[in-house]
Amino acid sequence: MPDIRDSQAANPLRPQTSDREAILLVSPLPEDHALLLPLLSATGRKTYAARTYREAMTVLCRDRIAVVLCECELPDGKWKDLLSQVAPLSDPPCLIVTSRVADEYLWAEVLNLGGYDVLAKPFDPREVSRVVALACEHWARQRRAALAGSAWPKPEARAGSPPPQAFKTSAGH
């Protein structure tokens, strides 16, 4: 399967500036789609649905996605596979993992690997709406910060500036 970064760099028609980007639901379960799609559509953002990792990658290569809700286990992959593809992007979507077994271990693993949050099943519609709204806000803030940061010259490009310092941390500190 092609790397998502290659697809995005090669697609000049892909929108680059909107803060009102889409949400992607990735789940093989029809009941997830039946409950979550109306909630996600209520955010005012375009909402896509995928049932497999491969379908999700197709959407991610085609459209700018702000938030991904991903079932823990997919027929052809796992949430970690999706995260590994989107994490290196300049404006990666916030990944929310959904699972019936949403215990402390999964929550810690998702956060430690760079995911945004975990939603437990059965879904509480208010909690889904709250977490998705916060993820959308977080993505928009991160995107604005990245765009604002790109407007400043790089430190090495500023005349008379010392070179950037590298900080080292040692074990035990």
Residue of higher predicted confidence among 69 and 150: 69
Percentage of residues in the chain with pLDDT exceeding 70? 75
In this predicted structure, the answer to whether residue 28 has a pLDDT above a threshold of 70 is yes
pLDDT at 110: 97
Each domain of the chain, given as residue ranges in start order, spans: 4-149
pLDDT at 98: 97
Residue of higher predicted confidence among 90 and 4: 90
Q: Which of 6-15, 31-40, 58-67, 121-130 has the lowest mean pLDDT?
A: 6-15
In this predicted structure, the answer to whether residue 151 has a pLDDT above a threshold of 70 is no
CB-based burial label for 115 (10 Å; 0-12, 13-18, 19+): buried
Percentage of residues in the chain with pLDDT exceeding 90? 62
- What would the mean pLDDT of 103-130 be, rounded to a whole number? 96
Tens-place pLDDT, residues 53-103: 999 999 999 999 999 999 999 999 999 999 999 988 878 999 999 999 989
In this predicted structure, the answer to whether residue 121 has a pLDDT above a threshold of 50 is yes
Q: May I ask the CATH architecture of the domain 4-149?
A: 3-Layer(aba) Sandwich (3.40)
